[in-house]
Each structure stands twice: as structure tokens, then as C-alpha cells.
Amino acid sequence: MSRPLHRGSSGAAGERISGSSNDFWDSQMKDKTDKEDLERRASSDNNSIAFRFPIRVLFPDSSPSKHGNTGNGLASDPLIASTPRSRHKLALLLLKLSLILIVILALTGSFWWTISISTTSRGRVYHGYRRLQQQLVSDLWHIGELSLGSSRLRDLDFCPQEFENHVPCFNVSENLALGLSDGNEYDRHCEYGMRQNCLVLPPVKYKIPLRWPTGRDVIWVANVKITAQEVLSSGSLTKRMMMLEEEQISFRSASLMFDGVEDYSHQIAEMIGLRNESNFIQAGVRTILDIGCGYGSFGAHLFSSQILTMCIANYEASGSQVQLTLERGLPAMIGSFTSKQLPYPSLSFDMLHCARCGIDWDQRDGILLIEVDRVLKPGGYFVWTSPITNAETFRRNKVNQKRWNLVHDFAENLCWEMLSQQDETVVWKKTSKRNCYSSRKPGSGPSICSKGHDVESPYYRPLQACIGGTQSRRWIPIEERTTWPSRANPNKSELAIYGLHPEELSEDAETWKMAVRNYWSLLSPLIFSDHPKRPGDEDPSPPYNMLRNVLDMNAHFGGFNSALLEAGKSVWVMNVVPSNGPNYLPLILDRGFVGVLHDWCEPFPTYPRTYDLVHAAGLLSLEVDHQRRCTILDLFTEIDRLLRPEGWVIIHDKAALVESARALTTGLKWDARVVEIESNSDEKLLICQKPFFKKQAN
């Protein structure tokens, strides 16, 4: 049995070895040449593989070697059996692979670190970005208004004639086209085209209103939009008898239908238990909300008794109650009970008055009476004059009797006490006790609003079917409040309700007393060096023209209003609290003033040519601090709409903002002058007067 051969065939080997010496030499030389070629190819192949597949060194190829077999039959390994030159190449290869590995690890670590940062710090980064964005908007607002281009500085055009009495946000025909009905077409809808980029001209025959108090009883007919038929058919009690005398409308004190407003006011006082209307103040009545006020005669009569009456009525394209009341120099604004809450805080007025105001209080499950209850102070009065309340009518009209019973029963469920009923007038008194609501029979009357729904200062919020204001710290019966005029200066405990200290109000009062003295000396055309002196006129004493209706666009505590009254100025002030600022409107109303919450990026709910003086202290700074959807030019265009010809504008703000505003007055065609403030170099005054542009008749 022969043994297996491990090293090849002996016969073949013997033949090669036993050959001649020349053959042996040739064979050796050939082997040597083949070996060198083989090494060169191996080195070239290894370098190529190292660049194409750098990971190969970690996972050696297990396939048979192309270098052939070693003497023991195993594949030869060039990493073990190599020359010094090949070892040098191997070191370089390993170095390259190490660098590539380091780069891969660095990139991987950076990727995971980025993911970690983005997940753990996303909230902080986002809030930081929001702060930067808000600051950027503020800065751009400054820069944009300070560096207005020529296109923005050009004079604004005048509006077409149909804009003479236009009120943005109140477009009945457009609202009807949008499908609004059931009275909602008369409501305020600011989402539908609210601004115009033009200046509203007065009517052709417009005249400057007469000075107060003459202007209260006589107005120019051309200044308002009303027809002769509307004058003659004015049947409301508080419209009184109006007489058309050539170019004027005269409001007389007597009426053919009633005994007159004086007797009517006296009757209401007696029904409350007072001697006459001059005793309203002693009974705690200072502010009255007059719903559907006619032409303001009820408030005009009570003004002499220091009673402040705010008229509200629906928008009317012609014969507007609000427009005529304002033309008489009396407080008024457009307001509607149709679908939204009024922009007043809860517990705002001492009395609500409705004399044939056109509201059906028995409709809509009493929700309109709930809104009356919300704005009425504890112990306040609701006075309603209507044919429905006349007991003689019940016998002849069962429908009216049913309507009266609905109102009567609902008022009882609101914890109102009916004090008296005479002829067509009935007077209720709101409860002064909160526990009255909880003592009602279960299921009788509307429920009390929850804390989340009882918003103290709503801004045109939908009407609520629950009783509001019961959880307010301001629940103080009117008979327990300090009477007017002491009421204008709340004591320490009263101020604590609003989070204020007496020192804050005292400092504010002193500031405004000084400001009013300075303002009054500036309100003269003589402040403008280029203002022409009127032929034949002496230097006018400030203020030159009628100054009666005042609009304070950023009222704060109501200090400007208080200072004007203390200075003996015969004005009334509409105190506006911006919806984006600190809300001290409850304090203003509790002090015995009138006011409203408003967003100044929306048009104010009133007619053109409403105010004689518009005052804005700190308003521009307030608007800059918020991301706004309107500009200073939008704001000033609205001021121009509200301002009467020859009316005044006073802007008190930071110096940079005042200079910015000054640049805009050129486009508005206002006379303007910047005034330095000695006590404060960081702030300035901008005093402006709107010229009287007369439109030529066609």
C-alpha cells in the first residue's frame, strides 16, 4: 500500500532537476522575473482596494489567495511575509483608514448632538425666537415710520361724496348681501372692509357748530344727514319737538304729545321716591345709559343737574339719533343689543333708560334684559316707557298684556323690584344683595354665570344667557357709594379693588392738572407761525373754536377727564381704554365718567366730524409694543375722520415717535407743531389742527 504524496509527483520533479545547467539558470531567472512582476501587481491591487473599500481591513477576504500557495499548501499572506517597502505602504494605509474612521465618528457624534439640542432646547429656542421677532417688529415699526418714502408722504386724496357720513364696520346693504338678518344687519361687523385710505370732506354747506350751551339747543341742519320729513315725524318722547328754521334745527322744551322732558324727568324722580330730578345725585345716580335716546333731549335736560347720560342707538344712514346727539355736544355712540354684549364692563351704570327705544324686551327668552342687568350697578334703576306698560291698554289689547306679563315675570326672576308704574312708564330697582339669586326657586329665571363665563370687560362678545357681575369685587350698591363729585376721587379701600394706591392716583391727578393748564394755552391758531390771521379778527383767546366733545384715546385712570372738570371746562370726555393695554375702564366708570373699550386698529363706532379735541398720551408707545395689524397712518386717518373741521389733536409721547407722527401730518393736510417738554427731554408734544376744507357745490 503506497503512502499518499503531499508535495507533488516525484517523477516530474526528477526530470526537471536532472536537466542541464543552462536550463536550470534560465529557469531561475524566469522565476525571479515572474516573482517581481507578481509583487508589483499585488502592491498595486492592495492600494486600489484600500481606497475603494476602506473597511476591508476589518473583514479580511476568506477567498483563496491569488498569490498562490506556500510551501505548506496554505495561501501566502502579504501582510506577514513582506519587504520593508511593503511595510511602509501598509503603515500609510493604516493611517489613512484611521483618519477616515475619526471623521466618520466625529460626524456621527455631531449628528446625535444636534438631535439632542433640538429636542431638549426647542422650547427655549422658540420662545427666544418669538421675543426677537416681536422686538424686530417693534424696531421695524419705528424705522418704517421714521423713514417714510415719498409715496407714503404724499397728500391723501379726498373721499367721494358718499363717504360724508360713512361709518366703517356698519354697512347694512353689504351685511344683507352676506345673508345677515333678524337685526344682525345693523350690528357691527369689522371683518368686512373697515378702512378707507382717503380724507372725509364735510358737506357743502357745513358750518362750525355753535358754542356751548347754545349749540345744545340749536344745530346747523347742513351738518347732519336728515330730511325734513324725518324732522317732522320724530315721535320719540326724548326727541322732543324739533323745529326746522331755515338753516337750523331748534330743539324746543315743549311737545304737543307729552308734557315735556322736564315733567317726564320729574315723574321718574317721584317714582323712585325723590322730590325731583335734581335729587338723582343724592340717590346715587350719576351715569345713565340712554338706549335709543331719540336726539338726546333727556340727557340734555339732566346735564344741568350734573347727570352724565350716554346715548346708544343703532346705526342709521339718515336721521341718526347718535349723529344729532353728538352734534348737540352730548355723549353718544353707536351701539346695538342685537347679538353682542356692549363694550362696557359689568356693573357700569347707575340707571338704564328706554323710552320707546324700539327694543322688544319680551323676545329671545329675555336675553336682552340679562344684558341690561349685567351693565347695571347693584341697586341701580331700569326705566322703561312704552305703550305696552300702560294698564289701560291691557283691557283692549290681549297681545300687549301677554308681552307685559313676560317682561314683568322675567324681571322678577332677575331679582328686580318694581318700584312704580304710572301711565306708560315703569321703574325697576336691581337687587343690592347677591344672595337674592341663590334664594330663588330652583329653575326660576336664568342661572348665574360661572367664573369662566363671567368676563368683567367683554369686547363685543356674543350675548350670554346667564347673570353676570355677581362675582365681581366691584359689587357695591349705588346707595353705599360716595356721591358725586366726591365719587371722582376714590378712597384707599376703593382703590384697593383695582390694585392701586392713593399715591398713584394723586400723582396722576397732579400730572394732568399741570398738563391741562399747558394744553389750554397752546390751543390757538397762533401756535403755527404760518397760520394766517383772519381779517378783522383780534387775537383769539384759547381755544379759538367750540370745544365741547373730547376723545381721550388712551384714558388710563381717567385723569385727563378729571383735570378738565376741576379746571371748570365745559366739556365731556369719551374715555377710551385700548383693548391691548391695562384695563382701568371699570375704575373710570366707577369714578362717574363715561368710557368704552376699543381696539384702535378698528374704526371707532361713531360718525364723521364727531369730536372737537382728540387726545392721545402714550398711545403710540402702546401700539409699538404690540405686534399690530395697522400703522400710524391708519390711526391718523381714523382720527381725521372723527375730528371736526378746525378741531385739535394733542399727541403726547416719546420724542422719536412724535417726530415720526409729525412727518405724517403733511399728508393729512394738518397744521402741526412739535413742542418741547421742559420737565422731560425724552418726550414731546405734537399739537395739530385740522383745516376747514370747503367742498364746492356742483
DSSP per-residue letters across 30-74: HHHHHHHHHHHHHHHHHHHHHHH-GGGGGS---SPPTT-B-TTSS
Report the alpha-carbon distance of residue 445 to residue 668 in Å, rounded: 54
Residue 55, pLDDT score: 30
Report the alpha-carbon distance of residue 321 to residue 295 in Å, rounded: 5
Yes or no: is domain 256-477 CATH 3.40.50.150? yes
**Radius of gyration of the chain from its Cα atoms, rounded to whole angstroms:** 44
b/e map 367-393, b = 16+ CB within 10 Å: bbbbbbbbbbbbbbbbbbbbebbbeeb
Assign domain 485-529+543-690 to its CATH superfamily.
Vaccinia Virus protein VP39 (3.40.50.150)
Evaluate whether 586 touches 597 at the Cβ level (below 8 Å). no
Residue 398, pLDDT score: 87
Q: Decide: helix, strand or coil at residue 478.
A: helix
Report the alpha-carbon distance of residue 284 to residue 287 in Å, rounded: 9
Q: Which three cell numbers stand for residue 289?
A: 345709559
Contacts of 183 (CB under 8 A, 6+ apart): 336, 338, 339
Evaluate whether 314 touches 334 at the Cβ level (below 8 Å). yes
Report the alpha-carbon distance of residue 468 to residue 448 in Å, rounded: 7
Angle made by CA atoms 200, 204, 205, in degrees to the nearest 5: 125
Segments of the chain scoring below 70 in pLDDT: 1-85, 110, 113-153, 172-186, 191-195, 231-243, 252-259, 525-526, 529-546, 627-628, 695-698
Evaluate whether 541 touches 522 at the Cβ level (below 8 Å). no
Residue 150, pLDDT score: 39
Evaluate whether 448 touches 346 at the Cβ level (below 8 Å). no
Report the alpha-carbon distance of residue 697 to residue 35 in Å, rounded: 117
> Cell 364735510 sits at which residue?
202
Q: Which three cell numbers stand for residue 106?
A: 466625529
Q: What is the pLDDT of residues 485-511, one digit of tens each?
A: 999 999 999 999 999 999 999 999 999
Evaluate whether 271 touches 353 at the Cβ level (below 8 Å). no
Report the alpha-carbon distance of residue 468 to residue 454 in Å, rounded: 5
Q: Which three cell numbers stand for residue 588?
A: 373710570
Residue 125, pLDDT score: 40
Residues forming CATH 3.40.50.150 domain(s) in the chain: 256-477, 485-529+543-690
If phi > 0 it is left, if psi is from -120 to 50 it is alpha, else beta; for residue 556 that is left
Amino acid (1-letter code) at residue 50: A
CA 107 vs. chain centroid, Å, equals 50
Q: Decide: helix, strand or coil at residue 646.
A: strand
Report the alpha-carbon distance of residue 626 to residue 506 in Å, rounded: 29
Nearest CA among 82, 57, 77, 54 for reference residue 65 = 77
In degrees and rounded to multiples of 5, residue 105 shows phi and psi of -65, -40
